[in-house]
Structure 1
Amino acid sequence: MSTNIKITRICEFCQNEFIAKTTKTQYCSLKCSSRAYKARTRKSKIDESNRQTEIARQPHLEAVKTKDFLSVNQASLLFGISRRTIYRIISRGELDIAKFGARTVIRKCDMDTFFSMPLEQSLLRPVQEFPGLENCYTISQIQQKFGISPGALYMLIQRQGIAKYSVGKFNYVAKKDIDIIFNVREK
């Protein structure tokens, strides 16, 4: 059975106009059809090679994706953030962990939940208003008054989540926050 259909089409490979005899014809000639097939084959080989290279670069990533519990190294690999950032999130109390000796284990669903929260809730804390110089200690004043080393003071300020204010070349901390930590009674 033959048809006398003549449809004007555009070749999907060379983009030239041609007359097709069926509605499914895509290419103007066998030459364009062969070239399109070779281009598709080449592209699929390149895509497969790139996928294999990505797996070779990060061999553990595929295995990590299937786990329910992650170490800090695995979580940093999976989420593309540094180990130190994960430890900071943990120290702020925004991520639940389990400790097995020295090993820290994080549930993957907790990490997913943390990163699905809006940025305002997870990372940004309300900024405290500067109480004024008369209501603040400098870092050196705190060290002298309470006899604490600089490193211990900075760790204490960080651990307690106390706001520091930079004015000029000095760092200030609110007197009320420091007095609460060192149990100073008001006179």
Structure 2
Amino acid sequence: MTRYWGIYSGSSALGSNLPKANRNKLLITAIIYSIIAVFIFIIFIVNMLCYLFILRRNRLFGLTWTIVDYGRLKNGETTEKRMKGKHPIRKVCEYCGNEFEAFKSTVRYCSHSCNRKAYKEIKRQEVIALTESLTGKETKEKTVKNLSGQEYLSVSEAAQILGWCKQSVYNYCHKGIIPAIRISRRTTLIRRMDIDTLFNEIGSYQVLPVNKQKFIDEWYTLADITERYGILRHQIRKIINVENIPTKKDGTRTLAAKNKTDAYFRKKGFDDTAVNLAGWCTSSEIMEWYGMSEQAVYVFVSKYAIPKKRVNGKLFYSKQHIDKLKGNRK
């Protein structure tokens, strides 16, 4: 008998004449291969079931699963990482009007398609607006060219040629600068020749005289009140508003009525003779002359309403009033 690969060719059944040890080895090998095949098949079935569960409910065994689309990742970041810490915002697409969820407040469109279509629409509207403006300009130029051949013009047509408004043309007609004739209640005609002859005899250009600003004796500026009565600008404005002192504008300056302002400060105990005083003193000088502390000086000037003024941010007090109250100096 001839032996091929452990099988005797003359046997009636496959491996029937094999030794017992060889038959056992063959059986064990077949069983192992079958177990491996069944295990691989079970793993394949489990993977398919898991994938179906994830697709349908996105949950499996009580856990939340995230499907990562590796084709849409940017810079190696997963979708879960990019979405971490961000809350979706419900927005309405400015192009199609559909609602969508965005993760930025600056997002205006629901998709790249709507973004592209909206951009094209904006550009189309810009082209339409430019075309309409050019068409209107050409129509206006044609109208002016057509009017140039007319001998008699209405007020509106003359305004178109000159580039003025109708009221300006009427004003010059009333002044006699532009000759015109009123044919009826609603019709005024101007000769084109009269408009052209306005520039035939051109004289020297007249410069309008500029009036010099004159100081008004009956009014105070805020700087005058500050210098005279020694109070700040915001305090002056408060006094003007509370006492209803008349004011008016002189260019950029605010003027206050002189008599009302003087009456208010006179009522508060301000002596007009303090304006003509040659001397003012500071708080340090008062401390030196009368042996007072700084706190005592402030209490004294506040209690007796000593006139004061501020020069370059420094307070000065009236010597006359202090000497009248305190007597001789040291």
Report the TM range for the smaller structure's normalisation: 0.3 to 0.5
Normalising by structure 2, what TM-score?
0.23
Length-normalised TM-score, structure 1: 0.38
